[in-house]
Structure 1
């Protein structure tokens, strides 16, 4: 009963052990990563790098690098290979972007849905590279291990999503066509994500390294509105694609960003005494 209803909205799973395995792996690994974020085991980049479990208080202009943090960072510097944050992010996003671009040459034939899907994937990672180069103010660094994990994850997910869509060209489309819902949802997601990244980039003046409580846009309601819009963007891609793999990746990403946003809110609460208690992590008024 449930399966028959679901198949009205998505293509049947392809007869491919690899695609089936990737669907399961994507969902489980991303969901587990989100769970680990809530338990204090963070992906080693951004402000959550080397977060300690001790309580801390600070004013809105306090930095996140106290003496204990500096000692821990020096110790980790000796143990872990690292790159500048900007270089790490460029390496993380470039393979997935190239996968999107190359798909237009590797698969020259395709219907409107396939064209929209690979265009959305390509635009998504082009935006990320553009932000790294011209929007984000990245002053920190990134573990090579984290960079490699993120880069491989994005490349495999993008390639698998595009390849799966190519396999669907030979199958009848789902009864309920969601691609025209997916396109505006994707555009709202990518636009909202970019806008809130822009607001974050304007928090600190040139040369400043202090973390501040974000303001403007939906930051007055949630601490991670950029994650919320990223989730909307991926749901837009899932509606365009309507495949089991795209849905499993989107759901896994949602659970990961829920965990990451929860950990981010905890970080702000520990660092700023005046952090608003009514500001949620990800979903206004709810979570």
Structure 2
């Protein structure tokens, strides 16, 4: 737990340094960079109203993708990790795959904040929600991949799809929050924001702690599977997935937008399917697997 608080403090310091760097740029440099990105955006969108419309469409498209993914996963597992298959392309080193595929979800928002006009970035709710998003992807892209022990390679198609999704979602969440999301005064004291933020933090902690437990099941050079114990694994087989689902559900509640809700829904569809598959796999592989342990939701499912 202390390590998680330290990590959060480190990300806050990093964001502070980025802000300091940005404030130290001369006014000419700032205007020049913003002018370049503004010109680029104007070549893509005829007006801010059109860009906001596109962002809304991307959010609804993500919901459609979630439905299609749900139907697909009724017949086949997401092909990575223990379900990896050569049918989905040549193998990519698991550490390289996680690092490269998740990195756009950190770099795209950072680039948008630094180099694009951001009308809402100085508002506390927008800053807080962006910090939540960046915290997750700093850990997921810059820390998590280099802690992996063993693990199966990721099929190339799975890797590419994840990479594209992180670009897509990084733009969707960051652009909306930094330039368009308009929250009422005092939103940070609203029950939705407070409860959502607490859910996000709790889910984030559960996710990181559960990944830590899974990593430490294996000794160096080991590649086999063992029964995870401790933390939320005492209650569910997919503790890491449960944590991430809670995390993004909290983000959606605090963000109170179709954009954050679409991401939470997509996460729920993909990770709940994987959690259920893991539970069945554990029950089949280990005769002594705890019978009282649920798949994804403690005491329920």
* Alignment gaps of 5+ in structure 2: 1-48
User: Which residue in the other structure is 1:82 paired with?
Assistant: 91
Q: Which has the higher helix share?
A: 2
User: Which residue in the other structure is 1:65 paired with?
Assistant: none
- The one of 61, 74, 78 equivalent to 1:43 is 78
Q: Per-residue deviation at 1:118?
A: 1.4
- The aligned runs of 1:30-109 (5 Å cut-off) are 30-39=66-75, 41-50=76-85, 76=86, 80-105=89-114, 106-108=116-118, 109=121
Moved more, 96-105 or 216-225: 96-105
CA contact (8 A) 2:196 2:254 kept: yes
Report the CA distance shift for 1:101/1:186 in structure 2 as closer, same or farther (over 3 A): same
Matched, 1:211 2:202: no
User: Which residue in the other structure is 1:168 paired with?
Assistant: 180
Moved more, 198-207 or 156-165: 156-165
Partners of 1:286 and 1:33 lie apart in 2 by: 24
Report the CA distance shift for 1:133/1:19 in structure 2 as closer, same or farther (over 3 A): closer
Partners of 2:153 and 2:298 lie apart in 1 by: 31
Partners of 1:159 and 1:263 lie apart in 2 by: 31
User: Which residue in the other structure is 2:216 paired with?
Assistant: 202
CA contact (8 A) 2:81 2:151 kept: no
- For normalisation by structure 2, the TM-score amounts to 0.74
Report the CA distance shift for 1:221/1:169 in structure 2 as closer, same or farther (over 3 A): closer
RMSD: 2.4
CA contact (8 A) 1:222 1:284 kept: yes
User: Which residue in the other structure is 1:115 paired with?
Assistant: 127
Partners of 2:140 and 2:57 lie apart in 1 by: 28
- For normalisation by structure 1, the TM-score amounts to 0.78
Q: Per-residue deviation at 1:104?
A: 2.7
- The one of 231, 245, 249 equivalent to 1:235 is 249
CA contact (8 A) 1:136 1:198 kept: no
Partners of 1:173 and 1:157 lie apart in 2 by: 27
Task: Report how many residues are paired.
Answer: 247
Q: Per-residue deviation at 1:170?
A: 5.3
Q: Per-residue deviation at 1:120?
A: 1.2
* Alignment gaps of 5+ in structure 1: 1-13, 51-75
